[in-house]
Amino acid sequence: MNSAIEKMTRTLELLLTILLFGMFLMIATLVVLRYAIGTTIIGGNEATIVAFIYTTAIGASIAISRDEHIAITYFTDKLSPDTQRLLSRVRLVLLTVLNVTIAFLAVSWIQRTGIFLMPTLGVPQLVAQLSVPLGCLLSALYCIGRLVR
pTM of the model: 0.89
Collapsing DSSP to helix, strand or coil, 102 comes out as helix
Distance CA(124)–CA(114), nearest Å, equals 6
Mind listing the pLDDT tens digit for each residue in 3-17?
888 999 999 999 999
Average pLDDT of every residue of the chain: 93
Q: What is the mean pLDDT of residues 64-77?
A: 84
The secondary structure of residue 33, as a DSSP letter, is I
Q: With a cut of 70, say whether residue 1 has pLDDT above it.
A: no
Distance CA(42)–CA(121), nearest Å, equals 8
Q: Report the pLDDT value the prediction gives residue 73, as an integer from 0 to 100.
A: 83
Per residue in 19-39, is it b (16+ CB within 10 Å) or e — as a string?
beeebeebeeebeeeeeeeee
Q: Report the pLDDT value the prediction gives residue 48, as an integer from 0 to 100.
A: 96
